[in-house]
Structure 1
Amino acid sequence: MPKERVEFNKKTSLLNDKKIILGVTGSISAVESVRLIHELRRHGAEVFPVITESAKRIIHPYSLEYASGNRVVEELTGAIEHVRLVEDSDLFLIAPSTANTISKISLGIDDSTVTSVFSNALGKIPIVVVPAMHINMYTNPIIRKNIDVLKSFGVIFLDPLIDEEKAKIADYRSITAEVIRALNTQLKGKKIFIIGGSSYENIDDVRVISNNSTGETSIDIATMAYYMGADVDLLLGNVSVEVPPFLDYEKFTNIDSLVSKIDSIKKSDAVIVPAALSDFTTEKIDGKISTEGPFSIKLKPTPKFLKKLREKYKGVLVGFKAEYGVSKDELIERARRRMSEYSLDMVVANDLKDVRVGYTKVIVIRGRKETEIEGDKLEVAGRILKLLA
């Protein structure tokens, strides 16, 4: 009888054809396993759960079987599941991992389904461990030493969320991102700086001059850069979309605040700037301008950030050119003018009429080459980044 498949809204194909062993141990955070399995599958992975006896008191194996579509390993038999799984899989993920499991695997103790898989996996496939326990256990110097021992053998640890005196399991999206990152290394060792969202220039202490921008493009590019192994610095102005929990970021306000960061930006291998930056500013008035009568403001051009950045930055610089309702030839011509004006290495050009929810279409211009890319926004972001790899 064929096993039932659960359908998901796919996010990326970065884990297509990848087989992930998920080790579930006896932390209360085991209740998050179903959500984690679903997220891994949304990126294309096939998940094979392995559960300990203590975890079975918290979550039933049937839940994991339904979520993954695969039989759950509850005990080791003559089929040597702990060996076969490692031979056939791409990564071993222990989430959640208790202090007990961490200590045992650091000492080579092999007395459960999960520890047995670990003993076979170490040195053969990547291993990601996600701790979840009381804060006193997580900060115990013996546990910390055991974590350091495992790290010395190349085991990847994802820090827990410290809250309410507990080291809670990391967000399921952060865990999935770490798995993707461990298996996708196209940008490993690259430092990518991304600037997105909209800047704003103050008119008074209440009102601003700004541009419409959701910041979605910059966040998608930062997300895919992280997935692909890059060290990502993300600098955001105003945005209206959620930033994934695995991305750290700083905020900027106006053009002057961006210019002040050039010395830190210029240390990057590549700088990508999809930000909607203000073209005009004005002299700020203290307080709030009265609404009881007309008033006028005098606009003056802002410094051209890309030009100032290029004066000090000699690495790969990527700009964006958005238009609306122009022909393909006109779009390319305007993008090439932007490339020449600011000495850019690459320009990503698009007509905003081709953009809709979940879909975009761009033309990437680099040197004499023009590459048309369309589709899901995350996938398009990934294809843009591959041109930098």
Structure 2
Amino acid sequence: MTPIPISAARVLLIIGGGIAAYKSLELIRRLRDQGASVQVVMTASAREFITPLSASTLSGQPVRHDLFSLTDEALIGHIELSRSADLVVVAPATANLLARMTGGLADDLATTLLLATDKRVLVAPAMNVRMWLHPATQRNIDQLKADGVAFVGPDEGPMACGEYGPGRMAEPTAIVEAIEAALARPGDSQDFDGVALSGRHVIVTSGPTYEPIDPVRFIGNRSSGRQGHAIAQAAVGAGAKVTLITGPVAVPDPPGVTVVRVETAREMQAAVEAALPADAFISAAAVADWRVDRVETEKIKKGEYGAPTLHLVENPDILAGVSKKTSQRPSVVIGFAAETEQVVAHAKTKLRRKGCDLIIANSVAKGTTTFGGDSNEVLVISADGIESWPAMTKISVAERIVARLATELAKRP
């Protein structure tokens, strides 16, 4: 089937009941900003959380919710709604709504549309962590995936109920990216949480590099490798073959990943070259910019003349080297920029200088927890502009980066 640009897409958005319904208003706004037409259908529960007037104002179309409307159903309107859209999106998809979809129920307008549609369906689940992890919900998810329903999210994090874990609805930006990927490949039955990168080879670098000074000392940095390892795990979860090239870290190896351990920047560069070709390269490692020109074979002792003088030379630029390849360049190259000040300005300069497709930028200034912590707050810099993502766990950041990667790869031949 022919790919559909989001600017010309007709999206049927079904809003389920739940506190996450408020995010659907932002989703409507973002879709309309990109030129998509959005027809909204709300369940009875959804109308307890947000008003049809809000959704109608943002979408520019009347909100539908009544299966037995005399005017809307005079010409069997639910059949027309289900088939006129290019994509059906359910956000939020509650545990109850997923169960009704699995059972093929048609007891309101939303479930009737879902049963009657012949178009792809993308769902963004949202529920309490215990509901998400319950065996009944997981069985329903497995069945829906087998039926060809695609999933985006859920994210992991704190919830309105006070608990923490998976179950938060994906952010509107991530849902838009999943919508773009679905429209770019309308014939696929891919799951944006399971096989979006099926058949793709992704190389990820992670952690710091250690540049030896003598047998016991080195030049290094505070990178924990948590973000890079989370990206590798998310890419495997999306169906990719992943080669993870990591410096010295204390975090465990992600399951299902080919791991190559290195210490120095030059070792990492050689490992990256050996792992090519690949469809994507994600340079999440904090590679040391410099090394000493001569490594001492014995431990340097304190002497009467004070501290030794270290002569530094520049390390190879792994990201630029991959980005500027004339052959075997991955289709998508993503770099990272950890800055202490002027984050946007430095990231834009890095994007241009390195020649990569995206830069994931964040602040590592004093008071932030990016290095060594479990959370991250990033900016996505590209030739198209800047996206600001809210603070979230590194696992959630990784999942969104992988969703964005799937979108970018779908745009390329």
Category of TM-score, reference length = shorter chain:
0.5 to 0.7
Structure 1 residue 161 displacement after superposition: 2.8
2:145 maps to 1:151: yes
Residues 20 and 193 of structure 1, relative CA distance in 2, 3 Å threshold = same
Cα distance in 2, alignment partners of residues 255 and 104 from structure 1 = 53
8 Å contact kept, 1:200–1:278:
yes
Question: Which residue of structure 2 aligns with residue 376 of structure 1?
Answer: 384
Question: Which residue of structure 2 aligns with residue 185 of structure 1?
Answer: 185
Identity percentage of aligned residues = 24
Cα distance in 2, alignment partners of residues 294 and 154 from structure 1 = 66
Structure 1 residue 31 displacement after superposition: 1.7
Kindly provide the amino acid, as one letter, of the partner of residue 151 in structure 1: K
Question: Which residue of structure 2 aligns with residue 330 of structure 1?
Answer: none
> Which of 85, 90, 107 lines up with 1:111 in the alignment?
107
Question: Which residue of structure 2 aligns with residue 5 of structure 1?
Answer: none
Question: Which residue of structure 1 aligns with residue 132 of structure 2?
Answer: 138
Question: Which residue of structure 2 aligns with residue 128 of structure 1?
Answer: 122
Deviations 1:245-273 (A, max 9, x none): xxxxx999851462475499447346587
For the residue of structure 1 that corresponds to 2:6, the secondary structure is coil
Residues 165 and 267 of structure 1, relative CA distance in 2, 3 Å threshold = same
Residues 78 and 175 of structure 1, relative CA distance in 2, 3 Å threshold = same
Deviations 1:202-249 (A, max 9, x none): 588999699xxxxxxxx9xx9xxx9xx995969899xxxxxxxxxxxx
Deviations 1:296-348 (A, max 9, x none): 32335656869xxxxxxxxxx98435xxxxxxxxxxxxxxxx74xxx656899
For the residue of structure 2 that corresponds to 1:73, the secondary structure is coil
Q: How does 1:278-289 map to 2 (within 5 A)?
A: 280-282=290-292, 283=295
> Which of 85, 90, 94 lines up with 1:94 in the alignment?
90
Aligned residues: 303
8 Å contact kept, 2:99–2:137:
yes
Kindly provide the amino acid, as one letter, of the partner of residue 150 in structure 2: I
Question: Structure 2, unaligned stretches of length 5 or more?
Answer: 68-72, 187-195, 222-227, 247-258, 333-346, 357-381, 387-404
Cα distance in 1, alignment partners of residues 96 and 328 from structure 2 = 53
Cα distance in 1, alignment partners of residues 410 and 74 from structure 2 = 45
Residues 376 and 58 of structure 1, relative CA distance in 2, 3 Å threshold = closer
2:316 maps to 1:320: no
Kindly provide the amino acid, as one letter, of the partner of residue 281 in structure 1: R
Structure 1 residue 19 displacement after superposition: 1.0
Structure 1 residue 280 displacement after superposition: 4.8
Kindly provide the amino acid, as one letter, of the partner of residue 41 in structure 1: R
Structure 1 residue 277 displacement after superposition: 6.9
| TM-score calculated relative to the size of structure 2 | 0.56
2:265 maps to 1:255: yes
Residues 345 and 160 of structure 1, relative CA distance in 2, 3 Å threshold = closer
Residues 100 and 270 of structure 1, relative CA distance in 2, 3 Å threshold = closer
For the residue of structure 2 that corresponds to 1:133, the secondary structure is coil
For the residue of structure 2 that corresponds to 1:151, the secondary structure is helix
Cα distance in 1, alignment partners of residues 80 and 151 from structure 2 = 24
Cα distance in 1, alignment partners of residues 32 and 353 from structure 2 = 26
